[in-house]
Amino acid sequence: MTTALPLRPAAGDDADDAAVARLGAEFPRYPAAVVSAVVASCRRDLDGSPPGAMPELVERLARQRLRTTG
């Protein structure tokens, strides 16, 4: 039996959760599921960036996408 591997490293989970919380407060018109999906999409798009810079890059890109979406 095989098990599914996580799509992203567990280390990103806390940073992503924090980004979702901050962005959710900044953009209350979007449901949490939408903000979470945007953050996950940004993480995938930035794959290959330096790991130490990833949390900030993900949040900045997600913020920009949420601003231009609405």
Q: What does the domain layout of the chain look like in residue ranges?
A: 11-69
Residue 4: is its pLDDT beyond 90?
A: no
Q: pTM for the complete prediction?
A: 0.81
How many Cα atoms sit within 13 Å of 21 on the Cβ side?
Answer: 6
Q: What tens digit of pLDDT does each residue of 20-69 get?
A: 999 999 999 999 999 999 999 999 999 999 999 999 999 999 999 999 98
Give the confidence band of 12 by pLDDT, cuts at 50, 70, 90. Answer: low
With contact defined as beta carbons under 8 Å apart, do 42 and 58 qualify? yes
- Assign residue 7 a region: left if phi > 0, alpha if psi is -120 to 50, beta otherwise? alpha
Q: Report the sign of the C-alpha dihedral through residues 27, 32, 35, 36, in that order.
A: positive
Q: What tens digit of pLDDT does each residue of 13-27 get?
A: 799 999 999 999 999
